[in-house]
Amino acid sequence: MRQISRQEDYGIFLMDKLAKNFGCGSVSLATIADESKISVFFLKQLASKLRKAGLIKSKEGIGGGYKLTRSPKKITVGEIISAFSGPLELVECCDLSKKINCKLADLCHSKSALRKINQELVARLNSLTLASI
């Protein structure tokens, strides 16, 4: 079974820290690093992916740092995970838009069940907001 990666896990943690400060200005990664004992270098890697996904924005200089682009009520855990690894797929055949070369395609009886499980998991992750964690 696929596990949430360390980047995804820490990305959720970083987003939660920024959510707790929503509406109060930016937070520096150095502050988060000091509080959490996560290296600033690793936090910068996380922040870069989250920024590219449009979930956070940064400001340089005095009073600079990072903040959410939207309310914590509007950002989902599914979006955060996707920022690091793309859409969640338990198995390759979950994405019907992909042409898959699977030797078992004609014999597989579990693919529809796996697709349903994947859809339900994605729906749950997309219904869980930062505000609710």
Domain extent, residue 19, equals 6-132
pLDDT at 86: 85
Kindly tell me if the per-residue pLDDT of 125 is higher than 90: yes
Supply the pTM of this predicted model. 0.85
* Residue 115 within any structural domain of the chain: yes
Q: Report the pLDDT value the prediction gives residue 104, as an integer from 0 to 100.
A: 67
What is the share, in percent, of the chain residues with pLDDT greater than 90? Answer: 62
Contacts of 85 (CB under 8 A, 6+ apart): 5, 8
Q: Which residue has the higher pLDDT, 113 or 34?
A: 34
How many structural domains does the chain have? 1
Say if 1 falls within a structural domain.
no
Handedness of CA 101, 122, 8, 68 (dihedral sign): positive
Give mean pLDDT, residues 23-43.
94
- The CATH number of residue 57's host domain is 1.10.10.10
> Amino acid identity of 18?
L
